[in-house]
Chain A
Amino acid sequence: MSTQVHANLTRDQVEQISAELDEPEWLLETRLSALDALDNLDMPSVIQTPGRTWTNLTDLDFEGFVDPLNAAQDKEREQPDGVEVLEWSEAVAEHGDLIEEQFGSVVDPEENFLTALSTALFTDGTVVYVPEGVDAEDVKIRTTMNSRSLFNYTLVVTEKNASVTILERQSTGGSEARSASDASGEAASVEGERYYSGIVEVAAGENSHVQYGSLQNLDEETYNYTLKRGTADTYATVNWIEGNMGSRLTKSEVETTLDGDGSESHIVGAFFGHHDQHFDINSRVWHRAEHTTADLVTRGVLADRARSVYEGVQDVGRDAWNTSSYQRENTLMLSDDSEADASPKLIINNHDTEASHSATVGQVDAQDLFYMTSRGVDPRSARNMLVEGFFVPVLDEVAVDELRDDIEELVAERLRE
């Protein structure tokens, strides 16, 4: 399959993308190398149990999805004082050295087939650069995808003692956008299945604080791969909020490497699948230094024929003395045709560790429902209230009001469909 995609892609295309962004030679080389590597790379790892691969990425028709030279999107970037939020060509021009230093330092471009594909083809990028000591307000990045495929790259660099909150949103162009492209004769390019890919690298400097919230609400014909990974230096914090509502299939990997002593990470996830959506959600943390703390919390709801695959990894290295690591995952099933798979993993190599994980799967509590209906609430509203209530513990963990409100609203909307 990989050869098919490759066959569809050419060095010329990659060179053209790179030239349009006015990129330096090293970056072009990185892209070309990623392109060449496609033949030999595997899909991102997915869980396998006897006779079964939990998420089937290998059968996806990437050849059909990928249309590298026709990427189109609406982009909004809000830049608060003190921070630089730059679109890619701008960033390349202004911070060439910083990008050369950081690009690919957290996520290896050739880590897997999809990261390589993304590296070779990304046409859109954002660099968020927070200089030393700056406490930034909210950075907002909104992406509306208007083409068959879209490859996004985001780099966040915080210097010592800086802090920033970033809100990212992905959606697909609505019917208006589609009919607009009808008019321009490009309708065929956005009908049917699409592919969105986003790589996010966060390098959090000493004692800095990064909060990265993401809300994915792509249309349900879109396949989605996102890999978000941060490294936290001494006393730094990298927190992730990962909301997944849309897409046909999502493979979302959210990860932190706790590289510095006393660093922390908090990963909060919420998803709500319906119809035949498939979410493969990974939360992973690597404790690689002393006195590090991690807390992974994910809650999801499944309706109709939706399916979730959850993998959480807490990996405590040999030198990670005095580690605290916690993980919880809860799934609520609203339908008998849905499926909830979970594998929360603990990998512990240092005994000076306090670690726990737990996972539950269940349905709306029958007694709660009965109690509410006996108080005059109609069954449908009662169920909806209980589902909204189910999300409260994770929403409480979402420190960003706007993101929390948006997730709440989308959940409510979906329940009232």
Chain B
Amino acid sequence: MSSDQDHLKETDTEARFEFKKEEKSAFQTEKGLTEETIRLISEDKDEPEWMYERRLRALKQFQQMPMPTDWPGQPDLSEVDIDEIVPYIRPDIETRGGADDWDELPEEIQDTFEKLGIPEAERKALSGVGAQYESEIVYQNMQEQWEEKGVIFCDMDKAVQEHEELVKEYFMTKCVPPSDNKFAALHGAVWSGGSFVYVPEDTTVNMPIQAYFRMNSEGMGQFEHTLIIAEENSEVHYIEGCSAPKYSAFNLHSGGVEVFVGEDAHVQYSTVQNWSKNTYNLNTKRAIVEANGTMEWVSGSMGSKATMLYPATILKGRGATDNHITIAFAGEGQNIDTGAKVYHNAPDTKSTIESKSISKDGGRTNYRGLVHIADGAENSSTSVECDALMFDNESTSDTMPYMEIQESKVDVAHEATVGKIGDEDVFYLQSRGLDDDDAKQMIVAGFIEPITEELPIEYAVELNRLIELEMEGSLG
């Protein structure tokens, strides 16, 4: 989130992408990601010329942008050496990124699946083992049910082929341009896979659309792109199921999510992520909301070595609403830097942010949030609530909200609290016969309840189960 303030404030930037195309790379680099890599990816996917060109432009931007290094208290990214990452990308179009065999998966991941009680066949799918697994099956079911109403739900690569005009119009043009930040640019250059969702006017998709099994189908699942377009007066709930720790040879995940919420439309995007603990999780997720539309983000960040993720919403039309619910859990060796950004660019817009974080065994959580209320966004209101729970003094929990208020007729409130897990609460529960771990688990479950109650039941159960596993320390 380094460079694109004007874009976020204006959003009427249809033309901006085109402006960029004359940019020349300031330098050519032989090592690292090259145009040749991009050509290979694009050819492999049999992409139209315009997508290939967009990738190249993104690559140039990526090469010109500095790494984010100067944010106060940000995770250490010095290990994220692009030159180290690139070789993973360049030659590996044909090989699949996942393990060939269940037994090759790291023990902790196998262990998690077992403890989650997931059947073996599904475990393999979830962990991306075996290239024969195709997520198409899931998509196909959705299509059958909704296609007669004009709903589109398919793999992003397929969307480029089959829904070219829509993708051409919306893909990294208006919402997340590659110039937004270094990892958005990287994503624009090497993206692969992901979901495409299109919901036509006046259509309510009354069951959650789930993209659960999208791993490695193209060998580069770490750069998946999700594009959701909800037309006027439509409604959809999209759930991204990264709820299993993905095994990957790569150590960088840099996804992109773009959501367009039309007038009076309602989109909920939920995700519970539990990346393996060697992963740098650096994503860009953003929504643009038209008049009276509603965007809801529900996210749980569990795994990864370091996460930098701040889902952003641009409230573009009068009366637009945004709700963020986030939970972060950082255990040993983890640095979860997450939060929410909201730009109030129109009158009568509302936002709420509810953030909960738990840190344990030296883990580090940070809430980093930005609320921007533009001049003219009168009668807007925002309320931010952050609560942090800490288990020990090895752990760290920071809260860094930023509020830029340029309009006087507003109602802005931010509140944050940090506290340790209550000794008295633990004692009380123990005196009722619970052991120490169960008592703490119960307190944590109560602490995150506002999040879990927003999730469909199976995700809520899973989130609780994952936290339980973390609490046992069984995942190391």
Contact = CB atoms under 8 A, between A and B. Distances in A.
A318 B375 CA distance: 41
Interface string B386-421: 001011111111111111111111111111111111
* Interface-centre pick from A54, A337, A361, A363 (highest chain B CB count, 10 A): A361
A356 B1 contact: no
B393 A341 contact: no
B400 A343 contact: yes
A355 interface: yes
B8 interface: yes
Contacts, number: 136
A339 B414 contact: no
A345 B400 contact: yes
A353 B390 contact: yes
Interface string A353-364: 111111111110
B419 A357 contact: no
B4 interface: yes
Contacts of A355: 417-419
Contacts of A354: 418-419
Contacts of A343: 400-403
A336 interface: yes
Contacts of A51: 2-6
B131 interface: no
A1 interface: no
Interface residues of B, number: 46
Contacts of B391: 351
A45 to B, nearest CB: 8
A337 B378 CA distance: 12
A335 interface: yes
Contacts of B397: 346, 348
B1 A346 contact: no
Contacts of B399: 344-346, 357
B393 A350 contact: yes
A49 interface: yes
Given A336-B375, A346-B399, A349-B396, A359 B414 contact: yes
Contact of A336 (B5, B408, B418): B408
Interface string B127-151: 0000000000000000000000000
B2 A360 contact: no
Nearest to B423: A352
Contact of B408 (A335, A341, A348, A351): A335
Most buried by A among B401, B416, B417, B421: B416
Contacts of B394: 318
B5 A339 contact: no
Contact of A50 (B3, B395, B416): B3
A84 B394 CA distance: 45
Nearest 10 Cβ contacts at the A-B interface = A51-B5, A351-B390, A333-B408, A361-B412, A351-B420, A346-B399, A350-B393, A356-B417, A358-B415, A355-B418
15 contacts: A52-B404, A54-B404, A318-B394, A333-B405, A333-B410, A341-B404, A351-B420, A351-B421, A353-B418, A357-B414, A357-B415, A359-B401, A359-B403, A359-B412, A361-B403
